[in-house]
Amino acid sequence: MSAAPQRAKAGAEKIEVIVSAVLPLNDLVTRFEFKRKDGNRFPTFSAGAHTVVHMRDGDRQRLNPYSLMSDPADTETYAISVRRDDEGRGGSLFMHNNVKVGDAMEITYPVNLFSLDLRAKKHVFLAGGIGITPFMAMIAQLERSSDSWELHYSVRTEALGTYVDQLVSKYPNKVRIYYDDQSQSINLENLLDGQPLGTNVYVCGPKGMIDWVHKTAAAAGWPDANVHSEEFTAPQPGKEFQVRLCRSEKTITVGENESLLEAMEREGVDAPFLCRGGACGQCETNVVSSDGEFIHRDHWLEPDEHGNKIMPCVSRFIGKSLEIDR
């Protein structure tokens, strides 16, 4: 325990927003803009950051991360661009089919897992399809600080080239577009070869493209630290599960979008905590019995403890039954 632990929600704080614009850009991609419901400014974000959009789809809550693609200097409006994914889990379909101007939604504070290395002498961006979004913000940020950058952007067809016109007309000398249907492709070996010392490369696109960039750069002798890719960690929540609290003599259900710790608190069980982030060890709880699989997300337990302990602030369980000593 430390000083005055606060029972605040884990992870990023939420912001209530109103949808201020819905702009279809082409057959697949639509841009959504948000204003704050309370009329205040948004927190500033750094280029590369994403926000997690909370969607209320009937009695389900969907949480999808999207890169913030507006100018980081603009704290009046946040913008995201959403590609309709007809096969995905449904978040993007919900955005396309259900979200209208004036709707109230919740988004999280920005989180950046794809930040610019500000020591770089030059930034080279490699985008594939909807992977263009974080670069829109990065370009705005670097233009402001007059830093050096170039963009190589690969799209399927002219009709599906999201933001192509805008980019090409504003930065004709820094942007190059490659059309799949015209058999154009980025010549990565050449491109990497000509770069000045201290250049950093950033890739955002399909997984195959990301792997290809890492492999090609490594083969060309680039240090790993100079090659960045966007990796969305899966949103923290997971599947609903049940747990028996043997000391409190209660069986509770942990919902999709809450932690085991939060579920215990909701049920009035006094469970210890401090960091709510898997690091401090305070919430460590003994497992009495289990039939299933743990999803350990903490930084605390040693691997040999994974069968008989759980950190309820971040970790979860999938399976038949779980009983813990709380």
Partner 1 sequence: MTIQFNKETFRDDYSFKNSDWAIQRFPFPFHEDSYMYSVNMEQHRGGPAGSVYEKRFDVDEHYISEMEDRAMVLADDPLRCQSLPHMTLAGWDLLELIMVSKSEDYPDLFELHREGDIWRWINKPMGIDDTFTFLDETTLPYGPMEYITRQTQGDFCVLDQRDDNLWMDAGMVTTQADWSLDFDIGMNFFEWHAPVPLAHEKGIFKRALKFLLNIQQGAPARRLNWTMTVNPLLDTSPENYHKWGIQKTTLTPENIGAKQHLRVELQSFFRLPRSNALVFPIRCYLIAFQDIVKSPKWGRRLHRVIRDLPEELATYKGFIDNRPMMLDFLSKYDDGLPTSPGVFPDNETEPALQK
Q: Could you list the residues that contact partner 1 (CB under 8 A)? A: 1-6, 8, 11-13, 43-49, 72, 109-112, 115-119, 141, 144-145, 225, 274-281, 299-300
**How many helices (DSSP H) and strands (DSSP E) are in the chain?**
6, 17
Residue number with CB closer to ligand FES (132 or 283): 283
Q: Taking every pair of C-alpha atoms in the chain, what is the biggest distance, in angstroms?
A: 68
Residue number with CB closer to partner 1 (111 or 263): 111
Binder to ligand FES among 75, 115, 282, 308 (CB under 6 A)?
A: 282
Binder to ligand FES among 188, 283, 301, 322 (CB under 6 A)?
A: 283
Residue number with CB closer to ligand FES (155 or 313): 313
Residue 25's alpha-carbon distances to 70, 111, 160, 292, in angstroms, are 15, 25, 9, 45
Residue 152, number of CB atoms within 10 A of its CB: 20
Residue 197 binding target from partner 1, ligand FES, none, CB below 5 to 8 Å by type: none
Q: Residue 67 in contact with residue 133, Cβ under 8 Å?
A: yes
Size of the site for ligand FES (CB under 6 A): 14
Residue 11 binding target from partner 1, ligand FES, none, CB below 5 to 8 Å by type: partner 1
Residue 109 binding target from partner 1, ligand FES, none, CB below 5 to 8 Å by type: partner 1
CB of 245 to ligand FES, least distance (A): 16
Distance in angstroms (rounded) separating the CA atoms of residues 315 and 297: 5
State both tokens at 211. 């792997």
CB of 300 to partner 1, least distance (A): 6
Residue 136, number of CB atoms within 10 A of its CB: 24
Q: Residue 80 in contact with residue 68, Cβ under 8 Å?
A: yes
Is residue 236 near ligand FES by the rule CB under 6 A?
A: no
CB of 84 to partner 1, least distance (A): 28
Distance in angstroms (rounded) separating the CA atoms of residues 296 and 305: 10
Question: Which DSSP category does 14 fall into?
Answer: E
Residue 311 binding target from partner 1, ligand FES, none, CB below 5 to 8 Å by type: ligand FES
In this structure, which amino acid lies at residue 11?
Answer: G
